[in-house]
């Protein structure tokens, strides 16, 4: 059986983003079908599909939906379209090339769970995505698919397009809610662990990623069982992976989840097509900047959540970044750490202080001012942000941003310590002379 | 340098009406102010505080958190070169260095004629198109040094009408007509949606 394209089937269509193009290719049939079922039945289909969240944490969507408390209203749907994890590049294309599929996914979710309003939060920098979604919503409202009495039923819901304004941390779901409430995008203290109990305006709120919701129409049309048959037992359906960096054919590919291997995606002719210039693989990031690195020995591992988790990393947001043997590991490590230092929201001290210390120490190593004890110092700071530097990471912070900065450092030092040593051996540290007091 | 114009104010009120709590409209309204003036002025922030019913300090508090909001005059064209990991691996640092030479400014500065502002920015989700950049949030993929210079030349000679001036984010806005709007329930009343009740799904 060839794997069907579930979320990217319209990417090749010129008019896939228009209402006509969407309907011509089977669009809004799932909504019609859902309205013929009871909301509970729709929820059941999604549970049966075992659809894992596609944003980064990989939590089963159907289970998350089940956390809504009974009889508390109104309830909201917030769509997380703040894609900003370095290397990640899928939600933006879903927004630009198939906005109606996402809209249909939102509508079905609202119907199933009794969510009375939907806020579609799109990252501010994605101007074209904003335009495509706005256009799609305008068309869908006009045609009766969104708004009051959808398709002449009793089901009514508004979908409000909301703009972000540049902040990686807003991808964390409680920070996203803060931002949507008009505040600084700082994560909320847990518990409650899930906004499903207390979310937007203190009301029950489901926060789902764009790709997660884009799967919903297919699941409703074809059934949760059919979805669960694709992929591996605990990683069902398909997933979109972006392969970038030093490969011959960087690209965004939808593949069967849980069975395709890293080697397929990085080396396979129809995908990454091997390392550029005939070079050798040095390392690759399997799931976005926050993920610990993998190396050659991991190539034959399937892109399956449990397997990757057990190997000490994560599939995260589906971003595979490939580094060849020409890569300066210290500089790559610095680049990733600088990202977290810049994007720390500043709420928790270990992250606010720690990530920028890490960045400054790596910078001085690169600049030739490194000190002999700097590697120990780096790991000591890492240990203060994420005690034990283990996987999954422990955290001294409210959200995982701080501990994420630890991943590139521990990965790089563990595997390529000699590259740090090379910098340090040529280093002439500029250490201020210590003035002894009271020596006299 | 102004408060919101009447036209902006009408758009602002349309946006505010979509949210159960007015403050939710704050970020969209700051974008509106930036679209009007090219940057977010103090006067506009004060005006937004008035219409939302919060303090100017609260508006500034939110505004200053987000990178896209510029609180001083900005170049008409914001040049954001991505230096995320994928672009870093494929020459982003050299491209930024080249851009600094071409424009005669450093990262974070604006050219003296007020046309270009240059920044190195975090990942903008075009990783397979590295090194990539955005000019006023419009993508330019796999940019070479000569392509960069060509873009600058085109903008200086006003040949790039496809790129709107800084502040204009989306050229298409969401419109919800009065006939089609579903509206929302007050957050103070716990009313189950009618379609759940009809299906007997409310306990």
Which 388-427 residues of chain A touch chain B by CB within 8 A?
none
CB atoms closer than 10 angstroms to residue B101: 11
Q: Which of B20, B175, B182 is nearest residue A156 as measured by Cβ atoms?
A: B182
A86 touches chain B (CB under 8 A): yes
Q: What size, in residues, is chain B?
A: 203
pLDDT bucket at B1, cuts 50 / 70 / 90: low
pLDDT tens by residue, B101-156: 999 999 999 999 999 999 999 999 999 999 999 999 999 999 999 999 999 999 99
The DSSP secondary-structure symbol of A404 reads: H
Whether A439 shows a pLDDT value over 80: the answer reads no
Residues of A in contact with B130 (CB under 8 A): 244-245, 250
Q: Please give the sequence-ordered ranges of beta strands (E in DSSP) within A76-139, or none if there are none.
A: 76-81, 117-122
pLDDT tens by residue, A346-382: 999 999 999 999 999 999 999 999 999 999 999 999 9
Which 238-277 residues of chain A touch chain B by CB within 8 A?
242-246, 250-252
Which 7-66 residues of chain A touch chain B by CB within 8 A?
38-40
End-to-end CA distance of chain B: 55
Cross-strand pairs, A239: A255
pLDDT tens by residue, A148-187: 999 999 999 999 999 999 999 999 999 999 999 999 999 9
Q: Is the peptide bond before A348 cis (omega within 30 degrees of 0)?
A: no
Q: Residue with structure tokens 């305006």?
A: A201
Domains and CATH numbers, chain A: 19-229 (3.40.50.11540), 241-323 (3.10.20.600), 329-425 (1.20.1440.230)
Predicted complex ipTM: 0.96
Residues of B in contact with A252 (CB under 8 A): 128
Whether A19 shows a pLDDT value over 70: the answer reads yes
Domain residue limits, chain B: 1-71+173-203, 77-156
Q: What is the largest CA-CA distance in chain A?
A: 92
pLDDT tens by residue, A241-252: 999 999 999 999
Which CATH number, 3.40.30.10, 3.40.50.720, 1.10.10.10, 3.30.300.180, labels domain B77-156? Answer: 3.40.30.10
- What predicted TM-score, i.e. pTM, was given to this entire model? 0.96
Write down the H helix ranges in A202-314.
210-214, 216-222, 224-229, 262-267, 305-310
pLDDT bucket at B193, cuts 50 / 70 / 90: very high
Give the SS3 label for residue A432: coil
Chain A to chain B Cβ contacts (< 8 Å): 241
pLDDT bucket at B203, cuts 50 / 70 / 90: low
Interface test with B, best of A80, A86, A202, A336 (most B CBs within 10 A): A86
Question: What pairing do the DSSP bridges indicate for beta strands A158-163 and A117-122?
Answer: parallel
- Give the minimum alpha-carbon distance from B125 to chain A in angstroms, rounded to a whole number: 5
Yes or no, beta carbons of B125 and A88 under 8 Å apart: yes
Whether A124 shows a pLDDT value over 90: the answer reads yes
pLDDT tens by residue, B23-77: 999 999 999 999 999 999 999 999 999 999 999 999 999 999 999 999 999 999 9
Task: State the Cα–Cα distance between residues A161 and A282, nearest whole angstrom.
Answer: 42
Which 181-240 residues of chain A touch chain B by CB within 8 A?
181-185, 201-203
Contact A197, A67 (CB under 8 A): yes
Write down the H helix ranges in A223-327.
224-229, 262-267, 305-310
- HEC assignment per residue over A47-83: HHHCCECCCCCCCEHHHHHCCCCCCCCCCEEEEEECC
> B1-71+173-203 and B77-156 share one CATH topology?
no
Residue A229, token pair as written in the block: 């048959």
Whether A236 shows a pLDDT value over 90: the answer reads yes
Task: State the Cα–Cα distance between residues A280 and A262, nearest whole angstrom.
Answer: 15
Whether A437 shows a pLDDT value over 70: the answer reads no
A148 touches chain B (CB under 8 A): yes
CA trace torsion B163, B167, B171, B177 (10° rounding): 180
Average pLDDT over residues A263-286: 97
CATH class held by domain B1-71+173-203:
mainly alpha
Whether A297 shows a pLDDT value over 70: the answer reads yes
Whether B199 shows a pLDDT value over 90: the answer reads no
Residues of B in contact with A131 (CB under 8 A): 170-172
Residues of A in contact with B31 (CB under 8 A): 124, 163, 165
Residue A87: left (phi > 0), alpha (psi -120 to 50), or beta?
left
Dihedral sign, Cα of residue A203, residue A200, residue B3, residue A130? negative
Which 330-389 residues of chain A touch chain B by CB within 8 A?
331-332, 335-336, 339, 342-343, 345
The shares of helix, strand and coil residues in chain A, as percent rounded to the nearest 5, are: 45, 15, 40
Q: Sheet of B133-135: strands edge to edge?
A: B116-121, B77-82, B133-135, B138-140
pLDDT bucket at A1, cuts 50 / 70 / 90: low
Q: Which of B19, B27, B169 is nearest residue A179 as measured by Cβ atoms?
A: B27
Dihedral sign, Cα of residue B136, residue B71, residue B54, residue A73? positive
């Amino acid at each position: 059986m060839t794997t069907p394209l579930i979320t990217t089937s319209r990417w090749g269509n010129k008019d896939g983003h228009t209402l006509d193009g969407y309907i011509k290719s089977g669009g809004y049939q799932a909504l019609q079908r859902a309205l013929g079922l009871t909301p509970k039945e729709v929820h059941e289909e999604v549970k049966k599909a075992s659809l894992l969240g596609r944003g980064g944490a990989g939590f089963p969507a159907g289970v998350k939906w089940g956390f809504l408390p009974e009889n508390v209203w109104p309830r909201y749907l917030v769509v997380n379209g703040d894609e900003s994890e370095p290397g990640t590049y899928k939600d933006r294309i879903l927004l630009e090339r198939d906005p109606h599929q996402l809209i249909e996914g939102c509508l079905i979710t609202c119907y199933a769970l009794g969510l009375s309003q939907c806020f579609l939060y799109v990252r501010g920098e994605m101007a074209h995505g904003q335009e495509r979604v706005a256009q799609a919503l305008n068309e869908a409202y006009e045609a009766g698919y969104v708004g009051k009495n959808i398709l002449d039923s009793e089901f009514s819901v508004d979908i409000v397009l909301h703009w972000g304004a540049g902040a990686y941390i807003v991808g964390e779901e409680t920070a996203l809610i803060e931002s949507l409430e008009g505040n600084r995008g700082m994560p909320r203290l847990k518990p409650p662990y899930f906004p499903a109990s207390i979310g937007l305006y203190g009301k029950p709120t489901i926060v789902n990623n764009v790709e997660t919701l884009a799967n919903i129409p297919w699941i409703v049309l074809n059934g949760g069982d059919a979805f669960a048959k694709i992929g591996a037992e605990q990683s069902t359906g398909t997933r979109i992976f972006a392969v970038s960096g030093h490969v011959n054919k960087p690209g965004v590919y939808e593949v069967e989840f849980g069975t395709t291997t890293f080697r397929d995606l990085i080396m396979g002719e129809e995908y990454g097509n091997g390392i550029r210039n005939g070079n050798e693989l040095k390392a690759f990031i399997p799931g976005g900047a926050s993920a610990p690195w993998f190396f050659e020995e991991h190539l034959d591992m399937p892109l399956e959540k449990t397997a990757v988790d057990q190997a000490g990393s994560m599939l995260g947001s589906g971003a595979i970044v490939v580094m060849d043997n020409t890569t300066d590991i210290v500089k790559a490590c610095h680049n990733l750490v600088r990202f977290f230092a810049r994007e720390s929201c500043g709420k928790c001290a270990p992250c606010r202080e720690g990530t920028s210390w890490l960045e400054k120490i790596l910078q001085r190593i690169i600049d030739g001012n490194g000190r002999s004890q700097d590697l120990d110092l780096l790991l000591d700071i890492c240990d203060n942000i994420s005690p034990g530097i283990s996987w999954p990471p422990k955290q001294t912070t409210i959200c995982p941003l701080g501990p994420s900065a630890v991943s590139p450092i521990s990965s790089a030092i563990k595997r390529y310590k000699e590259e740090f040593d090379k910098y340090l051996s040529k280093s002439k540290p500029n250490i201020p002379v210590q003035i002894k007091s009271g020596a006299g | 340098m102004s408060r919101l114009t009447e036209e902006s104010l009408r758009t602002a009120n349309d946006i505010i009406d979509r949210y159960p709590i007015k403050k939710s409209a704050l970020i969209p309204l700051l974008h509106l102010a930036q679209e009007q003036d090219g940057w977010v002025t103090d006067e506009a922030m004060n005006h937004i505080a008035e219409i939302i019913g919060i303090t100017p300090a609260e508006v500034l508090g939110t505004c200053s958190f987000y990178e896209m909001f510029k609180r001083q005059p900005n170049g008409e064209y914001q040049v954001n070169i991505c230096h995320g990991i994928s672009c870093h691996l494929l020459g982003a640092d050299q491209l930024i260095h080249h851009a600094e030479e071409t424009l005669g400014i450093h990262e974070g500065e604006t050219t003296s004629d007020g046309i270009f502002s240059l920044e190195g920015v975090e990942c903008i989700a075009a990783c397979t198109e590295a090194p990539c950049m955005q000019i006023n949030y419009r993508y330019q993929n796999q940019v070479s040094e000569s392509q960069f210079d060509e873009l600058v030349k085109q903008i200086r000679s006003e040949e790039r009408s496809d790129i709107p001036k800084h502040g204009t984010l989306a050229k298409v806005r969401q419109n919800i007509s009065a006939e089609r709007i579903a509206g929302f329930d007050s957050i103070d009343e716990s009313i189950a949606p009618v379609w759940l009740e009809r299906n007997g799904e409310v306990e």
